[in-house]
A and B are shown apart, each in its own frame.
Chain A
């Protein structure tokens, strides 16, 4: 009995070893295949949106895309570390500060002119090293059962007031929020930003991610939260279960809280697949690519010329956003200030 058992275990070990060897070779094979065909996209956009774009793109062009999922600043810094050896061909973000960081390191290749022409100037940097592919606006998502119009903050700056202590939330660790802080920094300067971040640390409940913050508002944990608009629309389109008590307040009046953040797409200078990569960015900003934003379930704003956004959204032009130079948003300084404030 015992020896039989031992033999069985021995056989198991042997089988497992063989299997893993086989697997290793198979994996090595697939890794090589990955390098030889198609492009690698570092996707910091929402995975579902990235997937939607890529699926349509591959179907139309036959170009294979391998997607690596991550977050804005993680990828930006990663690409800088990787330098010329970066496996990435294309970089997509949710916000623009990460694009500026990579651009600043001189790692982007210029985007083709036809592509740039598809996007209005205010949604791309003047140097043409990357382009906007979508946009999102900052909102104050609030608990409709607790707050009425007159009690809502007129400006995002009011939230640093002790009167708001314990009443609002945000997702400070995310790239989304760091973009808002970067805009704040550009609009109001370092001292005001420091003061506001201190107010955030003192007053706000930190959440992991915008959707979690919105859920907390819906559940009555906090009266409001600073998030981007489309989390609410996305949830409403599904079951509405996480946003049924939630209303959206648009700050407008060129308040930092009305900041419109541009999602970016760029091509790495080091790419071995320049043509395919250019085709991909061109597709994203084209009618077809932008239609994914209008018709899909991402609810982000389309930024292409003459491209319409989802009908349910407040039109971009009506948001009265502050003028922010997207290409100069200082992400490094933001991380520094936020670390100093004890937020990350």
Chain B
């Protein structure tokens, strides 16, 4: 491998020196080829869950598929899913855009504090949100309650990109609109909102996919979705065709959402055409409106942070020291190890594709990239089902091992790893890499010494983001973990299902403790990519 690179490097010297096109790397195809190969391997792995469901579908035959898929229960679940999405998403958009506008573009006092508080709910796992609400109001259940808790748990996924986009907008466009006589509201709806479309679409998609795959939140709030029904089926009959068919329908829903987002996003792009860089936008004066304006983030903080923390605090207080058993420590250690190992592996697995998609985009690469992204939209249940069946049937030594669990984590959190890596590779100028090669480095060395080093902060963010996901992951861990492994999430889960809310509290608390720094890092990263 190393020799190959050296050979190639000497062959490449001339084109590098003579200078290629502005965006294209030197003509050597081989380093690309090896990266493409690596990315393809990851892509093939990511197709495994989908391929498995396709195989089961084929294997059981059309008649069985028909009786398992076309039945009233599946209809019920579909209705539930559509209703849940169509209540939660619009609410989250309104909430996140309002909040982002307030914190980024107005003179609201303590803007930074509100911005932090808007992100912080992400540090509380979704099922801990519902645990808090259910223990506060035991009657909470069904669609409305599910949507309510979902909004609180997930709106930061919209707030983050929208706030970042708002920060980046060129105020000159708004000034032009205002100078043409539009009042502030019209300026907002005609110039600002359209420019936020990408951020809104992206954030909404993320939330929509989370709603499809979320299990714990909805079980606790007693609302049936595909994810909960699949686990029910799984526990009744273990990877039966019925659970796999429900998984198939769920995958269909995911693909539908992905397609919908592409449609809504469109091809238009917005760019500054003026010279120089945009000045920061002025903050709008709120005047008397400041009172309702401040009330919104306060209410949100109380609902999305206050309630979980107060409930947790109450259970911890009631439990006293007795609930801090040694198992809490061991679950904490196992969770950290799994989260970091999974996060690093996911980032490593995402690296070839992230590099390709920035340095050598093309049609084939786009297909590979789609494979990387789609798999993260699959619910943990579906990925776990596939991995269980495959390891049991084909590679038994890997069954119930850390290796399989980590593969599941890599697949589930590949897109998260891609996000940070892609952005930071894109920021590392290709010219530096080329200059390094001009000075005699091989393409591999250049990529490692220049781009990888410049991309390190992004890589760290990727690891953190994936680790955050792993810390709070429940279904795949429940189904795949090796014997004797308990993560914070699985311990919390088994205790809450015996309604032992008191003993569950330390686990929930430790999950929050673990998630908090990762969430803060995520926030810092979103600022960085916004150029601040």
Type the 1/0 row for B393-436, where 1 means its CB is closer than 8 Å to any CB of A: 10010011110000000000000000000000000000000000
The reply to whether A209 and B232 contact each other, CB–CB distance below 8 Å, is no
Chain A residues with CB below 8 A from B482, complex form? 31, 34
Chain A residues with CB below 8 A from B234, complex form? 74
Residue of B nearest to A220 (CB): B139
Say if the beta carbon of A52 comes within 8 Å of chain B: no
The A contact surface, by secondary structure, is: helix
Type the 1/0 row for A1-27, where 1 means its CB is closer than 8 Å to any CB of B: 000011001101100110110011011
The reply to whether A211 and B498 contact each other, CB–CB distance below 8 Å, is yes
Instruction: Give the A interface residue count (CB, 8 A).
Output: 60
Say if the beta carbon of A148 comes within 8 Å of chain B: no
Say if the beta carbon of B138 comes within 8 Å of chain A: yes
Binds B, one of A40-48, A157-165, A257-265: A40-48
Chain B residues with CB below 8 A from A73, complex form? 235-238
CA distance A338 to B240 in the complex (A): 14
CA distance A245 to B399 in the complex (A): 47
The reply to whether B345 and A40 contact each other, CB–CB distance below 8 Å, is no
The reply to whether B463 and A16 contact each other, CB–CB distance below 8 Å, is yes
Q: A344-B232, A344-B233 are in contact. Are A66 and B341 (CB under 8 A)?
A: no
The reply to whether B242 and A339 contact each other, CB–CB distance below 8 Å, is yes
Type the 1/0 row for B461-501, where 1 means its CB is closer than 8 Å to any CB of A: 00100000000000000000011100000000010011110
The reply to whether B343 and A16 contact each other, CB–CB distance below 8 Å, is yes
Chain B residues with CB below 8 A from A178, complex form? 236
Q: A20-B344, A76-B238, A87-B483 are in contact. Are A13 and B463 (CB under 8 A)?
A: yes
Q: Which of A20, A74, A219 contacts B341 (CB 8 A)?
A: A20
Q: Which of A13, A85, A242 contacts B396 (CB 8 A)?
A: A85
The reply to whether B456 and A9 contact each other, CB–CB distance below 8 Å, is yes
CA distance A9 to B239 in the complex (A): 42
Q: Which of A16, A206, A242 contacts B344 (CB 8 A)?
A: A16
Say if the beta carbon of B340 comes within 8 Å of chain A: yes
Say if the beta carbon of A207 comes within 8 Å of chain B: yes
The reply to whether B401 and A31 contact each other, CB–CB distance below 8 Å, is yes
Residue of B nearest to A51 (CB): B327
Binds A, one of B69-77, B152-160, B275-283, B375-383: B69-77
The reply to whether B222 and A69 contact each other, CB–CB distance below 8 Å, is no
Q: How far is the CB of A77 from chain B (nearest CB, A)?
A: 3
CA distance A6 to B427 in the complex (A): 13
The reply to whether B236 and A12 contact each other, CB–CB distance below 8 Å, is no
CA distance A208 to B222 in the complex (A): 7
The reply to whether A344 and B236 contact each other, CB–CB distance below 8 Å, is yes
The reply to whether B498 and A12 contact each other, CB–CB distance below 8 Å, is no
The reply to whether A9 and B238 contact each other, CB–CB distance below 8 Å, is no
The reply to whether A85 and B399 contact each other, CB–CB distance below 8 Å, is yes
CA distance A85 to B394 in the complex (A): 12
Q: Which of B341, B392, B460 contacts A82 (CB 8 A)?
A: B392
The B193-239 residues at the A interface (CB cut-off 8 A) are 219, 222, 224, 228-229, 232-239
Q: Which of A6, A40, A77, A215 contacts B456 (CB 8 A)?
A: A6
Say if the beta carbon of A81 comes within 8 Å of chain B: yes
The reply to whether B341 and A344 contact each other, CB–CB distance below 8 Å, is no
Instruction: Give the B interface residue count (CB, 8 A).
Output: 51
Residue of B nearest to A68 (CB): B483
Chain A residues with CB below 8 A from B499, complex form? 211-212, 215, 235, 242
The reply to whether A173 and B232 contact each other, CB–CB distance below 8 Å, is yes
Chain B residues with CB below 8 A from A74, complex form? 234-236, 238
Residue of A nearest to B219 (CB): A208
Residue of B nearest to A71 (CB): B235
The B312-363 residues at the A interface (CB cut-off 8 A) are 337, 340-341, 343-345
Say if the beta carbon of A156 comes within 8 Å of chain B: no
Q: How far is the CB of A22 from chain B (nearest CB, A)?
A: 9
The reply to whether A9 and B236 contact each other, CB–CB distance below 8 Å, is no
Residue of B nearest to A48 (CB): B498
The reply to whether A335 and B237 contact each other, CB–CB distance below 8 Å, is yes
Residue of A nearest to B494 (CB): A47
CA distance A20 to B402 in the complex (A): 12
The reply to whether A342 and B71 contact each other, CB–CB distance below 8 Å, is yes
Say if the beta carbon of A221 comes within 8 Å of chain B: yes
CA distance A34 to B482 in the complex (A): 10
Chain B residues with CB below 8 A from A85, complex form? 396, 399
Say if the beta carbon of A28 comes within 8 Å of chain B: yes
Chain A residues with CB below 8 A from B337, complex form? 20, 23, 26-27
Q: How far is the CB of A201 from chain B (nearest CB, A)?
A: 9
Between-chain CB contacts (< 8 Å), 23 pairs: A6-B454, A10-B453, A13-B344, A17-B344, A20-B341, A27-B337, A27-B402, A31-B401, A34-B482, A34-B484, A67-B484, A68-B483, A70-B235, A74-B234, A81-B389, A81-B393, A207-B222, A209-B497, A211-B497, A342-B71, A342-B76, A344-B73, A344-B233
Task: Using CB atoms and an 8 Å cutoff, list the residues of chain A in contact with chain B.
Answer: 5-6, 9-10, 12-13, 16-17, 19-20, 23-24, 26-28, 31, 34, 40, 46-48, 66-71, 73-78, 81-82, 85, 87, 173-175, 178, 206-209, 211-212, 215, 219, 221, 235, 242, 332, 335, 338-340, 342-344
